[in-house]
Amino acid sequence: MKPINVGLLGIGTVGGGTFSVLKRNASEITRRAGRPIQIGIVADKNLELAKQVTGGACRITDDAFAVVNDPEVDIVVELIGGYGIAKELVLEAIENGKHVVTANKALLATHGNEIFAAAQKKGVMVAFEAAVAGGIPIIKALREGLTANRIEWIAGIINGTTNFILSEMRDKGLSFETVLKEAQRLGYAEADPTFDVEGVDAAHKLTIMSAIAFGNSMSFDKAHIEGISKLAAEDIKYAEQLGYRIKLLGITKRTPEGIELRVHPTLIPTKRLIANVEGAMNAVLVKGDAVGATLYYGKGAGAEPTASAVIADLVDVTRMHTADPDHRVPHLAFQPDAMVDLPILPLSEVVTSYYLRLRVDDKPGVLADITRILADQQISIDAMIQREPGEGEEQTDIIMLTHRTREKNVDAAIAKIEALPAVTGKLTRLRLEELQ
């Protein structure tokens, strides 16, 4: 049978991995897809690299638009990244009636509504398994495997760089800055790590999963995003003493008031499986009403794990290439005319539990003042540590875990506690999720 012809945009880490795995497992992939899948043309600014990776097995060009306008190309694989030229290329490929496979979470989280509408209009597929959690087939699980369920919530470790940093901080008691330098040396963190350590990368991925889980439009601009750069080593240590681990979680929940969409450092009970995901690994916990909690674990980045997801999408598109567009799996799991615009809950209305650490004068009555302020805001204490001051010290740390309460109540309590004369500096507040 005639091979399906693929145009590859970008042959860097993931592009090179895709070319390599597709070649190595060609016969197995053909048996699954029903016809051969071949990369006929590659576009990359680095022509020497493209020649080296492909070994002359296909045409190469430094003009990506030549690929999306090539009449012989059936599927365009976009692995360039970013929002600019990638968006132009994807929309032009769709306009030309070509299917698209992309690993570009930033593009989909910010422009997905426009891209999926264009694809729907032209009757083509946009597949994006590789955009979230690398080699873990979480998109397929949400979109197809769990389709009988009303999804209640998703909580995911979806950035390997930050998980590596937090694991090292916990294991070695080192500061964020020290571990970040080590992560950069090992290649886990970019020279500019802002997207990773400030939670933006995780928020892109969470936005996509939330849209699929709840049939909502992409709402990245409404996500609460908080990274790990201000996280102190002592909070990781205190959390451990209380039976918790701190992870950067992407959390999206369905509530009667709207959808929660938030990324921030989170305390998780040590006994939960997801709390024990270490190093650069990813894990996503999905709670459905019928199936209960399901956990998806694996490598969230890297050449071949991400290539695995890219090629899975290529196989899916190849299988459905000739199918009636109305009978394909919808891009975001729900039929396009059944998508909704559920409100995204502001963080002030989120209900969860909290970890609070404050530095106070070691004298009578201080704790009573603090607990009275918390009680006035209907915040009850679940657990507490009061560290014994060292010899000659006049101040000490108090660490509290609260029961579930609304964020705005905690905001009001913190403002009053910080105004107490016996309290020094800013209070540290982290959120806590039981994930039951």
Q: Of 87, 205, 253, 287, which residue is the catalytic one? A: 205
Q: Report the phi/psi class of residue 205: left, alpha or beta, with left for phi > 0 and alpha for psi in -120 to 50.
A: alpha
Residue with token string 């050449």: 303
Contacts of 1 (CB under 8 A, 6+ apart): 34, 35, 36
Please, what is the angle between helix 105-122 and helix 85-95, to 10°?
20
d(CA 43, CA 59): 9
d(CA 247, CA 267): 7
Contacts of 285 (CB under 8 A, 6+ apart): 154, 155, 156, 274, 293, 294, 295, 296, 435
Residue 205 a catalytic site member: yes
Q: Are the CB atoms for 143 and 214 separated by under 8 Å? A: no
Q: DSSP 3-state assignment of 170?
A: helix
d(CA 6, CA 13): 18
Contacts of 137 (CB under 8 A, 6+ apart): 129, 296, 309, 312
Residues annotated as catalytic are: 205
